[in-house]
Amino acid sequence: MTTRILAISGSLRRTSLNTNLLRQAEAIAGRGATFDYFDRLPAIPLFSEDEEHPAPAPVADLRDRVRTADAVLIATPEYNASIPAGLKNALDWLSRSDSTGGPALVRKPVAIMGASGGQLGTVRAQLALRQVLHSMSARVLDKPELLLFRAHEQFDESGVLPEGSRAHAALLGILDGLADLVTQRGTPHPATR
């Protein structure tokens, strides 16, 4: 069985370490997973109840892609000891019901990770993100954690996490844990009903 993973990078930078981390996850997962990259965070307007119905097109697209995914994998940088505004805004939209159903992340398996050039990795951002996701009733993978500190030194010259490195092993652990969460979910994917 192939796991459908929606990959979301909290970074808007073209050469983002976090987007690259998601690409590494896809490479490691191989044929066991298909990755769908949501790269429209900049197109999502600031959340406003006045603009909620009907949802703006990028929001509707994100909700649809979350609902059809088996799991969500988020890689976030850390800005000012928390998560980036664009990612938080997208989550605010996802926390709301729409005409097609309740909040999209309820009981959805989610794993988080992050890469940073600093010494602390993204520990504070991941704590903040974990709190937000728990409040939305997502099923968040607790362990292992991947706080990729000094990330620019951990990727090789080709932008790859070397096999056998701690980072590579942690990323593999996250993918395995996410697959376990999907298996434990107990409800078939809507397309298979």
CA 130/CA 112 separation, integer angstroms: 8
Q: How far is CA 177 from CA 50, 108, 166, in A?
A: 39, 14, 16
How would you write the pLDDT of the chain (193 residues) with one tens digit per residue? 789 999 999 999 888 999 999 999 999 998 889 999 999 999 999 999 999 999 999 999 999 999 999 999 999 999 999 999 999 999 999 999 988 889 999 999 999 999 998 888 899 999 999 999 999 999 999 998 899 899 888 898 888 999 999 999 999 999 999 999 999 865 444 433 3
DSSP symbols for 126-169: HHHHHHHHHHTT-EE--SS--EETTHHHHS-TTS-PPTTSHHHH
Domain that holds residue 99: 3-192
**CATH code assigned at 139:** 3.40.50.360
Number of folded domains in the chain? 1
pTM metric for this prediction: 0.92
Q: What is the DSSP letter of 101?
A: B
